[in-house]
Chains A and B, each alone.
Chain A
Amino acid sequence: MSLPPMLRVSRLTKTYPTAAGPLTVLHEASFELAAGASLAIIGPSGSGKTTLLGLCAGLDRATAGSVEIAGETLDGKDEDERARIRNASVGFVFQNFQLIPTLTALENVLVPLELRGAAGCEPQARALLERVGLAARADHYPVQLSGGEQQRVALARAFVNSPKILFCDEPTGNLDGETSGAMVELIFGLNRERGTTLVLVTHNPELAARCQRVLRLRSGSIVSDEANVLVG
């Protein structure tokens, strides 16, 4: 018996009303992703990559179609139910880091666990900060950290609730080449260690090349879905 896919997307469509009439930014996208697999979504600006990521992660409601994460459908769920699913199963890394500016690095990492009401989880958060090389900066605020450091804190936060699936939106988009390389190593290293499913949106061909599958979007439609033969 085969395991259900970690992410199942069926005929996903997103349309916005505009003054000039409805504007469809994503048109009937469908794909599945097995647990532990990695997927890169690429395409030119405005092709619908971020929209697709947002819908997959339950950050937005589709106009039509459905999304299932770890066997649990997001369809018909209200915002709070989807928030619960995100907290239980999903991790995020954003292009602009999205750390909470008023919290220290350690406190930022702890947020997902504290939201669950978990107590005594500081060692776990510290261990993750150590894993991303920031043990010494645990008590620093985002403004006191460089861009690369902020993104590493964001990565530690993404993994702290042991997500089943990690969504990354241009995780290296705001980083220089060297920092970006180190970041990519960390993402894939943690992904491997923890068996997390990975979905990332990127413009970076090298980063896309590290994923097992590459989904190419153009004008809101999936134009190709290819396995990356070089990645096992």
Chain B
Amino acid sequence: MRFILSFAWRDTRSSRRRLALYSLSIVLGIAALVSIGSFSANVRQAIDTEAKGLLGADLFVTSPAPLTAPVLEYLHGLGGTMAREQTFSSMLTFPATRRLRLVQVHAVEGDFPFYGTFETEPAGGLSLLRGPGGPRVILEPTLMDQFGVKVGDPVKLGRTTFTVAGAVRKVPGESPGVAMMAPRAYIPLAALPATGLASGQALARYRAMLQLPPARPAGAVVRAMKDRFALVRLSFDTVEERKRNLGQALSRLDGFLSLVGFVALVLGGIGVASALHAYVRQKVATVAILRCLGASARQGFLVYLVQGTALGVAGALIGGVLGVSVQRLLPLVFRGVLPVDISFFLSWPALLRGMGAGVVIGVLFSVLPLLAVRRVPPLAALRSAAGEDAGGGPDPWRLAIGGAIAAAVAAFAVWQTGAVGVGLGFAGMLGVGFLVLGGLGGLVSWAARRFVPRRLPYVVRQGFANLHRPNNRTVLLLVSLGLGTFLVLTLFLVRTTLLREIAGADSLGRPNLLFFDIQDDQIAGVEAAAAGAGSPVTESAPIVTMKIGALRGRTVEAILHDKDNRAEDWALRREYRSTFRGALSPTEKLVQGKFTGAAPPGGGPVPISLEDGLAHDLQLHVGDEVEWNVQGLAVRTVVGSLREVEWRRLEPNFFVVFPTGVLEAAPKTYLAALHAATPAASAAAQQAVVEEFPNVTAIDLALVVQTLDGIFSKVAFAIEFMALFTVATGLVVLAGAILTGRHQRIRETVLLRTLGASRRQLAQIQLVEYAVLGIQGAVVGALLALVGNELLARYVFHVAAAAPAGQVGAAIAVVALLAVATGFAAGRGVVDHPPLEVLRQEA
């Protein structure tokens, strides 16, 4: 063993830098796993530490309608402390500039939060609302920056002018993601009636926040309330549930990002295997000499196994250190997404897990090429040809190691995803992905041999020839560069596809501004105001709120208590905002039955049209009877047709459409949509309408796109950050592959130099070679990304895929440039050697 260890060490003398580079192939994958694992542990601990601060209370009871007297009575009877909040969307006006912005209004009452801190600038939390003078508001800081508002400035909400008291920083119980959807504005609940916005808001939420006495555990209260108020649409949030939900979300995110990191690790493993394959080929003579001098096959193999293991361990150590450094960056990457403040600490289990995975993958992938060492015959010392096919022929060990690699990859995926099917599916997809890329690599190599014209300049032909000549790395580089390009570009393209789909309305003249909460008597005024501002309303729809009373003759209460019920609870209990009209809208397609535009005369059930997804959730079919409770009045209907609705379009869309002639007399509000040609026209229309009708709320498509873009940016950045590990691994593998071919490269370069090639010509050959490699890797990755984007767009998002040529071209150019830069950096010095010096070294 002493000989094996000492020889293994000595044998690396001339190749330590190279071996270190090979180990770098797995470093980034390990770093990704360690950083994500350890960071998740930080977040988990923060969630545990700040558990009660996550909610700010022991229990939230929330309803889409004002909390009823019995509910409030019950809550008071619990003996704790209660705070209340009413939340809804409304337009905030900045009088100084006469500009408007849709905000999420939080009208609060009581000493919330009971745990944790409501952080504001200046400090003081909700007590800032209780200062002297007129009513006060606390605003989202981004809103204040955007509209140039300072503390003390006036803003207008409904009919009331508020004074800005401060900026909100962090609110217990609210995910930072909430602020991404719409900026928040906190006002005192007592100031709400004066605004004129106290009721009639379509998307209002009413909440009681409770601090419970110790004798009343939140879980027991929730169970009791669910029993007692089964028919009231209440939802509950407890600290435990919030922790569990956050934990689950974190596990999913952690699992997903770890899998992305693991792809980098497996790619690195393939890089290690490929580099060691070339390394072993260069060591055939040394092994043959050892065999001549009496070393057994086992001794020879062990020497290189020690090196391979050391490489894996070194990679794991460097990866561990790098991972811990990256972990410090992650709070910046996930800034604005996390609900808790993270304090950095090193999670040893996460570190050991990441490093362990690295060592296992590193060693398994090392062993594969090293098996060839066992088969180097001593005769190779006499005849080098004898060592040529050392790795060839069937070898049961190779199959066994291949199986072990597949098992390790599958086991890791199952472990990370926590689901055998998903894990195995991921491992399978990864295998298929590698095979597809490998197959394409083989195809490109074959095409380069077959189709490159002979009349091309020598340097170009030489560059292409490198794709198919013996010991080429075409397949490996396609896999590594292609996979990295594929991952990152797919993310970019999907984002573009979704944003384009939403933003596309502008170019098609579709509605891009939506007004809601319009009262029955305001619709004509709103239409006039919008038309006066230059953007007439193109579509408006009445909205009547209603609930389901009975399905096929059974009451909702009975269905909810039925254990065999397969209808979804949310669909049974929700408050429906239905409309009535005489025809299908452009966003709808009839999929079953017959749409009835006008209620037939006579007293029979009214034929209505349901959205097909809702019908599925309610287990309803054409011909089934539904009884609606329309604000206290029972209306018998029958499902006459099912519609497919294109929800993505910013147009009035509904789950339930009644024919005309039934609901006209019911209390109703209106929704109006219009197309504003320019941002200025949109602002003018909003101003005109909201100034006259402060209770009306506007949604601007540009704002939706901007908001979604913000959310995509945050989420995509985190994923792209991890995917970049794969790209970087691809480049390290590329550098390793170039270095392994350095021997061969030096020999050729020296021969060309001896035959009179200039430095410039040699550099041109290198440029062509690396550019061709880079471009083909990037093109293959981009092609896969286009396919991935098309599949996701078609089957997951049901939209038309957008693939801007500029974006794809830029990605290809960047990857090709990176490949050329890495190639030149790794091949540095090859051209500079005087022929004689190199010939002597090579002797």
Q: Does A149 contact B (CB under 8 A)?
A: no
Contacts A100-B286, A107-B10 known; list 13 others, CB within 8 Å: A53-B382, A59-B377, A86-B292, A88-B294, A94-B382, A99-B289, A100-B289, A111-B290, A111-B293, A114-B6, A117-B3, A143-B841, A143-B843
Q: Which of A76-91 contact B (CB under 8 A)?
A: 79-80, 83-84, 86-88, 90
B379-A115 in contact (CB<8A): no
Could you say which of B2, B293, B297 contacts A86, with CB atoms under 8 Å apart?
A: B293
CB pair A94–B296 under 8 Å, yes or no, is no
The 14 listed contacts between A and B (C-beta, < 8 Å) are A60-B386, A79-B291, A80-B298, A83-B297, A84-B294, A87-B293, A102-B10, A102-B14, A102-B15, A102-B286, A103-B11, A111-B290, A111-B293, A169-B382
Chain B residues with Cβ below 8 Å from A157 are 293
Does any Cβ of A come within 8 Å of B419's Cβ?
no
Given contacts A101-B14, A117-B3, contact A54 B291 (CB under 8 A): no
A-side residues, CB < 8 A to B, are: 50, 53-54, 57-60, 79-80, 83-84, 86-88, 90, 92, 94, 98-103, 107, 111-112, 114-117, 119, 143, 147, 157, 161, 169
Instruction: Check if B10 sits within 8 Å of A115, measured CB to CB.
Output: no
The chain B residue sitting closest to A53, CB to CB, is B382
CB-based nearest A residue for B842: A143
- Given the complex, which residues of A lie within 8 Å of B290, measured CB to CB? 100, 111, 115
Whether B268 is near chain A, meaning CB under 8 Å from some CB there, is no
- Cα of A117 to Cα of B4 in the assembled complex, Å: 10
For A92, give its contact among B377, B381, B841 (CB under 8 Å): B381
CB pair B379 A60 closer than 8 Å: yes
Chain B positions within 8 Å of A169 at CB level = 382
Within 8 A of A (CB), among B342-399: 377-379, 381-383, 386
Give CA–CA (A90, B296) in the complex, Å: 15
Q: Which of B13, B294, B298, B383 interacts with A112 by CB under 8 Å?
A: B294
For the complex, give the distance between the alpha carbons of A112 and B293 in Å: 6
Residue of A nearest to B383 (CB): A50
**A86 contacts B381, C-beta separation under 8 Å:** no
Q: Which B265-299 residues have C-beta < 8 A from chain A?
A: 285-286, 288-299
CB < 8 Å neighbour of B13 from A59, A102, A161? A102
Bound-state Cα–Cα, A86 to B297, Å:
13
Min CB gap B325→A, angstroms: 33
Q: Which residues of B contact A112 (CB under 8 A)?
A: 293-294
CB-defined contacts of A84 to chain B, threshold 8 Å: 294, 296
A59, A80, A103: the one contacting B379 at CB < 8 Å is A59
Q: How far is the CB of A145 from chain B (nearest CB, A)?
A: 11
Q: Which residues of A contact B7 (CB under 8 A)?
A: 111, 114
A80 to B295, CA, bound (A): 8
| Residues of A close to B3: CB separation below 8 A | 114-115, 117
Query: Closest residue to B840 on the A side, CB-wise?
Result: A143
- List of A residues within 8 angstroms of B295 by Cβ: 83, 87, 115
Distance (whole angstroms) from the CB of B186 to the closest CB of chain A: 71
Q: Are B14 and A94 closer than 8 Å at their CB atoms?
A: no
**With A59-B382, A60-B379 as contacts: A117 and B2 at CB distance below 8 Å:** yes
State how many angstroms separate the Cβ of A101 from the closest Cβ of chain B.
Answer: 6
A88 to B298, CA, bound (A): 18
- Within the assembled complex, what's the spacing in Å between the Cα atoms of A204 and B10? 36
CB-based contact B291/A83 at 8 Å = yes
CB pair A103–B10 under 8 Å, yes or no, is: yes
Bound Cα distance A147, B384 (Å):
19
Contact (Cβ within 8 A) B286 A59: no
B293 touches A92 (CB 8 A): yes
Residues of B within 8 A of A116 (CB): 294
Which residues in B have their C-beta under 8 angstroms from that of A80?
Answer: 296-298
Please measure, in the bound complex, the distance between the C-alpha atom of A169 and the C-alpha atom of B384, giving whole angstroms.
14
Whether B286 pairs with A54 at a CB distance below 8 angstroms is no
A5, B7: Cα distance in complex, Å: 35
Q: Which listed residue (A59, A101, A147) contacts B378, Cβ 8 A?
A: A59
The chain B residue with its CB closest to the CB of A157 is B293
A51 to chain B, nearest CB (A): 9
What is the CA–CA distance of A219 and B14 in the complex, to the nearest angstrom? Answer: 42
How near does chain A come to B302, taking the closest CB pair, in angstroms?
12
B807 lies within 8 A of chain A by Cβ: no
Contact B292 A59 (CB under 8 A): yes
Bitwise, B332-349 to A at CB < 8 A (1) or not (0) is 000000000000000000
User: Which residue of chain B lies nearest to A170 when distances are taken between CB atoms in the complex?
Assistant: B382
Closest to A108 in B: B289
Partner of A98, one of B10, B294, B381: B381
Q: Which of B6, B10, B15, B294 has the most CB of A within 10 A?
A: B294
CB distance from A180 to the nearest CB of B (A): 17
Residues in A neighbouring B843, C-beta threshold 8 A? 143, 147
Q: Are the CB atoms of A86 and B294 closer together than 8 Å?
A: yes
Q: How far is the CA of A53 from the CA of B383 in the complex (A)?
A: 12
Say yes or no: is B12 at the interface (Cβ < 8 Å to chain A): yes
Query: Measured between alpha carbons, how far is A92 from B381 in the docked complex, in Å?
Result: 10
Cβ of B240 to closest chain A Cβ, rounded Å: 62
Q: In angstroms, how far is the closest chain B Cβ from the Cβ of A47? A: 15
Within the complex, what minimum Cβ distance (angstroms) separates B193 from chain A?
87
Interface residues in B1-41 (C-beta closer than 8 Å to A):
2-3, 6-7, 10-15
How many Å lie between the Cα of A101 and that of B283 in the bound state? 10
Shortest distance between the CB of A125 and any CB in chain B (Å)? 13
Q: Closest 6 A-B residue pairs measured CB to CB?
A: A87-B294, A80-B296, A102-B13, A59-B378, A59-B379, A114-B3
Q: Give the CA-CA distance A83 to B285 in the complex, in Å.
A: 16
Expressed in whole angstroms, the Cα–Cα distance for A94 and B297 within the complex equals 21
> How far is it, in angstroms, between the C-alpha of A102 and the C-alpha of B287 when the chains are bound?
12
Chain B residues, CB < 8 A from A54:
379, 382-383
The residues of A that contact B286 with a CB separation of less than 8 Å are 100-102
Q: Do A94 and B11 touch (CB < 8 A)?
A: no
